[in-house]
Structure 1
């Protein structure tokens, strides 16, 4: 089809939602990065923010079924240019401008304010000129190719496969490569990609654009969006795609992202049961579940695995400088109760003395000043805690005056704007609760702090992984852990032992890339290291599990 998803017919059929969606995909093909849709109430004239060659671009999309766009469209994108301090401003329309709009554009240009216009013919020309595939900065790494080969082999042999790659190692990249191979082998086949969360499937669709030819359509199916056709690659929330499958739409390949959400029963189980004749594979960084269900019962043994320690040892993840603050351990409690079993919940309550926020800020300030070009995430316990910490940071140091909080209580548009400003360095530090656990890519982060956070093993690995991605100029991830859960100590000890195992296997290797995991009180660290012998078991234990101190 001439013009593809940027053709006049496709844009007309797509409606007001379809225009920014098509432009977003085109921007990736044109080499933009950090493309974010911010359309909505109070967007102040912007629909899309994007970065190319360190320049901030702002786009305003105006869809119309028959009338050319008037001067209000030009005025809106001009307001957006000012509001977002954009270097470039573009008005996009599927039709064109009327006379008043063109006169307004020329008047602004005469005073040095340039508004670029992408009209219908321009968009069609962009389609013809842009490359068939999204340009990539690097080819698949050797282990990613090996992982794709392993998943593809198991799918071909048994119709089932499972990929386990630590956060930051590119599980979605491997999944996209598998889908690319499937579509090359079966052109026009129906492919389904499902996940548990709307924002995650939106990100998945964008990630798949890198692997697909521009002529392969992608469709987004959520509670808010319903495409007119389900051909090509359908990406959707499990609830929405389950309705399509129940109605008789039969995919030929199914990929489940964040596969640890698949249980013995539930919506994912029903979806996979209905698609029993389809090829099925899952990808996850954290294969552990809170219940006892083993996801290998559904997908088979992992086709390929690489842990955080293996990724760091191989140089695919950032070095880590991890410091646990255990000065707040109540050793008197340990001495008095060494002969009595405590549940983990009771132990955490009696063992750890609360850290004052002011003390945490001083430790953070010291680490901040020792980190080149710092970009920090602070994981907080509650929304109220995240907001309070952001306000304290903003008033305690001039370098943090633009500190912001980010949590699920904020509107999606506000979160996208904040992430864009964070990526550009305009907001250098963010406090959050839950939004960085899954599906958010922030490779520039080089400082993480865990503030009095209880956790599961899965959440710990996900949050730590937010800072382990490699980035130009990034030498190491610095982690400050104000631990308040013995399971966090166990998880960290397990990671340290895994890293040290590489040193023992090969005397030429020390802790990978200068990584270190240490306690603020090494006496405490030594005692806990000996006490928590089965760290991997303890870090997944429930609150009610009772523990016995050594003599």
Structure 2
């Protein structure tokens, strides 16, 4: 396991430097061996260490033997210690030592048996074998790492889990000659820390994002990983230039007045990170990407699939370096599972005008801001004794309305949004601190917490607005999936009515591709086993009726394509050519 490899890694590197031959055989039985542990070995030792899997995946491989052979002797340790921290440091383990000089025959017999296994019953762990193992690996039912919780240890900033795997793939990608790459990782995996770790071999670094709170949080992460580097900001208020790492607002740096030799030469930055890369098709992001010529450009996102998703991948030369979606991140134990409750909301969304595929905000407010609906939300909230809840609203007025309703019912709450503040709103940083301290139970937010904000202690999220975007839905869900002490799962309350494309929700929760054709023919139903391990999904029977009704009402293919053509025309601002239609067409429609 990763925890054990870290304990012996320096000694293995020292052995390598002395010219020792390093051979490792490990098993895949019951998924005990972590892929990140093997990635860590390969990353630090390269191809020098000969790492192999025992050939039979379904047979317990459990020797737990360590062989040291010297010119003038040798030792074999046989016993109960696996390579994990609790086994090597704190657990009750029994290991027996055989010395070559005293028990020569026994030593040679065990050594011969090792080489018999090595030559006849193993598979060499090259990059392809390791990637295949990682893709199908799930966290074992028993978590050995829990044995070392609650210890008084200082947290060291080092890559973990999926970050180790992604770093390995990023370095390999650069060796292969790529100067751009995209990492797709579920919210909560730690993409900012990943970027900080990967940037360490580069001197001048630029981090670009579209929100100030993302930049501030990223600066803290980079400072933890690169404490000696000088950090600066390039935004509306600051124009820092002579720094090792600059955190830039896309709204400022993306202006043409700053993209010139007076501020930055084209090759000024060695390494550029574009956070929330799904936004990168906008003009100011494109200005930055087209101007600078770094040694490497890294795109980070949890949700690359926009309606124009092909353009996102194109910006990184279609080089998806590493990918771990929500379902896999939960299955591998990097995020907590969710207990999702789809609650029937009798609000009639058919009366709300749809403009360019989105609900009219003012009309949407009117149907959402009624006491009957607020009471439904409050009663369902009170079913669960949760400490920290984030509730996503459609607008500032909606957030204020909900915060007022909850406070009047003795639930300490506030609203958080940008712009002019209201009676129940708080500054974002103040709200977060009160939230962490337990002074506030519920924060009603508008957009601000979709991206870049990490509060691991969140134990409930509530969706109080229609799901119009798969990207926004997954980002909001991801806000609460970060692992935290004493948090075993996230509770999700989703208030679902007859809004358009409500039947997207089961697909988003399961990670299964939304297939219009199969749905139209009623050939696909999402089953319980399709959801991530440990997750609970419960829809009110009336919501199931909404899903079925929407499936039956799906448009004919000609109408779907016509509506998609109109959308692309509005997006481009002119009549699309045929290749442009193919380029921007929604994947599900294609």
* TM-score in terms of structure 1 length: 0.61
Residue 168 of structure 1 is matched in structure 2 by: 188
Q: Distance in 1 between matches of 2:526 and 2:160?
A: 24
Please tell me whether the aligned partners of residues 343 and 494 of structure 2 are also in contact (alpha carbons under 8 angstroms): yes
Residue 288 of structure 2 is matched in structure 1 by: 271
Q: Distance in 1 between matches of 2:362 and 2:416?
A: 28
Are residues 224 and 484 of structure 1, via their aligned partners in 2, closer, same or farther at CA, if it must alter by over 3 Å? farther
Q: Distance in 2 between matches of 1:236 and 1:285?
A: 20
Please tell me whether the aligned partners of residues 437 and 463 of structure 1 are also in contact (alpha carbons under 8 angstroms): yes
Please tell me whether the aligned partners of residues 261 and 289 of structure 1 are also in contact (alpha carbons under 8 angstroms): no
Residue 545 of structure 2 is matched in structure 1 by: 524
Residue 144 of structure 1 is matched in structure 2 by: 163
1:384 matched to 2:394: no
Q: Distance in 2 between matches of 1:425 and 1:319?
A: 23
1:85-484 alignment to 2 at 5 Å?
Answer: 136=155, 139-156=158-175, 157-180=177-200, 182-183=201-202, 189-212=203-226, 214-227=227-240, 229-241=241-253, 243=258, 246-247=261-262, 248-249=264-265, 250-263=268-281, 266-291=283-308, 294-301=311-318, 302-326=320-344, 328=346, 354=367, 357-396=370-409, 398=410, 400=411, 402-409=412-419, 414-453=427-466, 455-484=468-497
Shift of 1:484: 4.7
Are residues 387 and 507 of structure 1, via their aligned partners in 2, closer, same or farther at CA, if it must alter by over 3 Å? closer
Shift of 1:407: 0.6
Please tell me whether the aligned partners of residues 345 and 544 of structure 1 are also in contact (alpha carbons under 8 angstroms): no
Are residues 364 and 506 of structure 1, via their aligned partners in 2, closer, same or farther at CA, if it must alter by over 3 Å? closer
Please tell me whether the aligned partners of residues 509 and 531 of structure 2 are also in contact (alpha carbons under 8 angstroms): no
Q: Distance in 2 between matches of 1:446 and 1:309?
A: 19
Please tell me whether the aligned partners of residues 323 and 520 of structure 1 are also in contact (alpha carbons under 8 angstroms): no
Are residues 430 and 327 of structure 1, via their aligned partners in 2, closer, same or farther at CA, if it must alter by over 3 Å? closer
Measured against aligned partners, the alpha-carbon deviations of 1:448-481 in whole angstroms (never above 9, x if no partner) come to 2222345322222211211122221223222222
SS at match of 1:521: helix
Bigger drift between 426-435 and 451-460 goes to 451-460
SS at match of 2:184: strand
1:537-548 alignment to 2 at 5 Å?
Answer: none
Please tell me whether the aligned partners of residues 322 and 517 of structure 1 are also in contact (alpha carbons under 8 angstroms): yes
Shift of 1:284: 1.0
Are residues 345 and 373 of structure 1, via their aligned partners in 2, closer, same or farther at CA, if it must alter by over 3 Å? closer
Q: Distance in 1 between matches of 2:496 and 2:474?
A: 15
Shift of 1:164: 0.8
The higher relative CO (CA closer than 8 Å, separation ≥ 6) is in 1
Shift of 1:216: 1.5
Q: Distance in 2 between matches of 1:494 and 1:259?
A: 23
Q: Distance in 2 between matches of 1:530 and 1:394?
A: 39
Find the structure with the greater CA-based Rg: 2
Q: Distance in 2 between matches of 1:413 and 1:308?
A: 31
SS at match of 1:427: coil
Shift of 1:485: 6.3
Question: Could you say what the CA RMSD is over the residues aligned between the two structures, in angstroms?
Answer: 4.1
Shift of 1:161: 0.7
Please tell me whether the aligned partners of residues 449 and 481 of structure 1 are also in contact (alpha carbons under 8 angstroms): yes
Residue 55 of structure 2 is matched in structure 1 by: none
Please tell me whether the aligned partners of residues 276 and 299 of structure 2 are also in contact (alpha carbons under 8 angstroms): yes
Residue 19 of structure 1 is matched in structure 2 by: none
* TM-score in terms of structure 2 length: 0.57
Shift of 1:178: 0.7
1:495 matched to 2:505: no
Aligned length: 385
Please tell me whether the aligned partners of residues 233 and 246 of structure 2 are also in contact (alpha carbons under 8 angstroms): yes
Bigger drift between 426-435 and 513-522 goes to 513-522
Q: Distance in 1 between matches of 2:528 and 2:339?
A: 21
Please tell me whether the aligned partners of residues 185 and 324 of structure 2 are also in contact (alpha carbons under 8 angstroms): yes
Q: Distance in 2 between matches of 1:346 and 1:408?
A: 21
Residue 74 of structure 1 is matched in structure 2 by: none
Shift of 1:192: 1.3
Shift of 1:372: 4.0
Are residues 299 and 513 of structure 1, via their aligned partners in 2, closer, same or farther at CA, if it must alter by over 3 Å? same
Q: Distance in 1 between matches of 2:436 and 2:306?
A: 32
